[in-house]
Each structure stands twice: as C-alpha cells, then as structure tokens.
Amino acid sequence: MKILILCTGNSCRSQMSHGFMQSFDKNLKVFSAGTKPAEKVNPMAVKVMAECGIDISQHKPKNVNIYVDEPWDYVITVCGGAMESCPTFAGKVKNRLHIGFDDPSEAVGSVEFIDSEFHRVCDEIKERFYDFYINEVKPQLK
C-alpha cells in the first residue's frame, strides 16, 4: 500500500506523520512531500520523534511534484489552521483524506511552551494516524 502525506513545508507535521505510519507497519510504502518544501526537517520534530523511538533525522523535505505521476492508495493532507492552505494533489489517488493538526513550528513563547506544543502535536499525530492505520489500512492488508 502506498501512502503520501502532504503539507506545505514538509518539515514538521507531514514528516512526523510519515515516521509514525512507517513505524506501524514496515511493509507500507510511506512518503511525504510539500508544495513549498523547507530546506530541512524541523529540528524540534526530529527531537520529539526521537523521544518516541522514531528516527526521522535522515528525512529530507521533498516537492510534491516528484510524486504526481505515481498512483497512490491514500493521499493525506495534515495542514491544520484556518490561516493555512493545504496542498491539492492532482495525481492518481484512490482515497483522499484530511487529518489536520496545528503547526507547532508556529508556536511562540518560552522554550518550555514551544517544546510542549511539539509534544502535544506529536501525541495527536501518533493517536490519529494509529487510529487511521488500525481502522482503515490494516483491514485492507489481510
């Protein structure tokens, strides 16, 4: 099964989602991309994922255009706030989903607050993508 997870910068939420989905089942083909990819994965995203036992330190933000000609079982957007516009994907897609999350990289305040926002969003991503895996993906793999 091929899953593409999209966000604008492909530096935080989509990378964390990618890491969790891949951790649930190593046989899934999981990719992530963005419409305006950042230069690198957000270091705080790498840190909180490492604390969960998942290494995304070698992930690199990619442009969604490299995946347009491929067929996908799922394309999932993860943008969250009303001020954000989620990318659209015009490729060959069986199922399109939106599972939105706040962008922790937009958090402002103390180091402790920013850290807590990354952990909160990471926990939400893990929970919602695990539910998606158990209820949608895993039954199709039997």
Which residue ranges form the domains of the chain, and what is each CATH number? 2-141 (3.40.50.2300)
User: Model confidence over 11-33: pLDDT tens digits?
Assistant: 999 999 999 999 999 999 999 99
Known catalytic residue at 52: no
Q: Which of 7, 12, 52, 122 is catalytic?
A: 7
CA distance 48 to 55: 10
Alpha helices in 94-137, H assignment, sequence order:
111-132
| Spatial contact of 22 and 53, defined as CB atoms under 8 Å apart | no
Active site residue 86: yes
- Find, among 71, 82, 78, the residue nearest to 3 by Cα: 71
Confidence at 142, pLDDT banded by 50, 70, 90 = confident
List, in order, residues 6 or more apart from 112 with CB less than 8 Å away: none
57: confidence class by pLDDT, cuts 50, 70, 90: very high
CA atoms within 13 A on the CB side of 88: 1
The 10s digit of each residue's pLDDT in 110-131 is 999 999 999 999 999 999 999 9
| pLDDT for res 83 | 45
- 79 is annotated as an active-site residue: yes
Split at pLDDT 50, 70, 90, the class of 134 is very high
**pLDDT greater than 60 at residue 40:** yes
Helix (H, G, I), strand (E, B) or coil at 75: strand
